[in-house]
Chain A
């Protein structure tokens, strides 16, 4: 069968192409440009080829940041997804409780990220912070500035506090769209609470959960602002995630070439992992 070619369509997508070119493609190309060159200042550049990429792939610092980042993403997904589902299941479905819960849930999402960081930075301090002071008063030795474990706990709790709401709201939207008849039929079929969750609620939430996992994975893999404000990547390098490392390289040390190479690798990793996530989950969806 012959396809109808309509060249006017190109004209219609042109504005978008121009916009994307200026907002994404051209900046990306400058990064590509930096990644293959070296400079000693004065705007003089030398061809460096794949040197920065090779260096990066053999850099312990990069791989350590990557592993930290993967562990972080894994932990927050493992906490936020089940917790989000659990909260969504227990939220009221009608009555005055609905708007109250929705507003409470939306609050953390409305706070600017650096403010979230500041809130927890102060909250966790053991001299003036409500959390830090009382945890220490209870006899726990908690100090996120000195202890890497405490720093991790703080950053993870902060992320859970900040982002679980997103999972909750998405799941809640999935749950309220289930018609009553499903619950009534389940009652008639004698289904247990667990069976209702497993065979009705979970399948109906599956699509929104896919989106929630994808969003939370991408965001947590790119996390920068909050840990930067709270720990600045420390103590030592214990909470230096990829993006923090990248900014240190690019703006702290002004190593433009290595930083550009790192940006590209970083970008490709996120692209690849998101694509794998998406394909795996949609394929799983299709074959059922």
Chain B
């Protein structure tokens, strides 16, 4: 197990990167603590797989350093780094049995056969495949194959970290839950450092203790699932996490109030002006649909659509020419003359897309 320091790492796939936009990873500086379960969450092309491949050594970063337990391993090969990686599509050695698949990484490292046998049997129990040990790997289901990929990592007792690159993409929905909880269990029992790349917020939020949200080659926020939900640091995090995403409305600030068209919205505190922020810089108010109260008082809206998603309803409405979403209970009805109020607890203010702290 290891603590992984990602030290000012930049990466470009071009030979001579000049502009910032030439970089797939703009600059990432972060520490993955020993034994932590992290999720790297972001849309396709945000650089999360690039970061993962840099950690595993499949890519060499253009700039910066990578440290395992304080030791610089930037120039070490994948094999020397001793990490395990599970890929999007199950990678198994078709012609081998399940047992031989797990023994493969050990035999490649010339581990004595007695130790191989002991380790493989332990691992088979861990991933719950002992009954299939003698079967050919190619005949198994996708989730069993993915477990074999994982097992080939777990079998090496000294792995520094286990990396997952969207491992549940090809797994049936009902098996996703099972596999994810088994992963959680393994993490709790053995305390591996795990980094899990995904673009699925549910996967990220249920798997990880800390979620690293990436956007356009940068880390925009690192936090617990609750922090990401309540206090998104960047409007992107607001959009990306939550279903539907956060409502973001352009406003003008005036002390403790925000003006949205003709409406005045009371804020929970006075937003601190950020130095260097232009007077007329884009100021936005973000509020999650869960904090928008639909009722008979507040600001008048025109409801355009009500989506019943089962446990609750999503109301799409028009407020001062802006599309907003609100979440109401399954048995609640939309009033005849609908109005909305914003719960102050859920209000965040953004300047140039970044969150502004609010004073008393």
Binding site for B on A (CB under 8 A): 179, 181-182, 184-185, 187-192, 195, 199-200, 203-204, 288
Contact = CB atoms under 8 A, between A and B. Distances in A.
Q: Give the most central of B96, B105, B152: most A CB within 10 Å.
A: B105
A288 B56 contact: no
Interface string B41-54: 00000000000010
Given A190-B79, A199-B96, A200-B93, A184 B104 contact: no
Interface size bucket, B side? 20 to 34
B277 to A, nearest CB: 44
Contacts of B77: 187
Contacts of A181: 87-89, 91
Contacts of B105: 188-190
B260 to A, nearest CB: 49
B83 interface: yes
Contacts of B91: 179, 181-182, 184-185
Contacts of B109: 190
B136 A185 contact: no
Contacts of B89: 179, 181
Interface string B62-77: 0000000000000001
B138 to A, nearest CB: 7
Nearest to A189: B105
B84 interface: yes
B152 A187 contact: no
B281 to A, nearest CB: 44
13 contacts: A181-B88, A185-B85, A185-B87, A187-B77, A188-B79, A188-B84, A188-B105, A189-B108, A189-B152, A191-B104, A191-B108, A195-B104, A288-B95
A243 to B, nearest CB: 38
Nearest to B79: A190
A187 B78 contact: yes
B94 interface: yes
Nearest to B88: A181
* Among B79, B96, B149, residue most surrounded by chain A Cβ atoms (within 10 Å): B79
A199 B20 CA distance: 42
Contacts of A188: 56, 78-79, 83-85, 105, 153
Nearest to A199: B93
Given A185-B149, A188-B85, A199-B104, 8 more contacts: A187-B77, A188-B153, A190-B105, A190-B108, A195-B108, A199-B93, A203-B93, A288-B136
Contacts of A189: 104-105, 108, 152
B355 to A, nearest CB: 37
Contacts of B95: 199, 203, 288
B140 interface: no
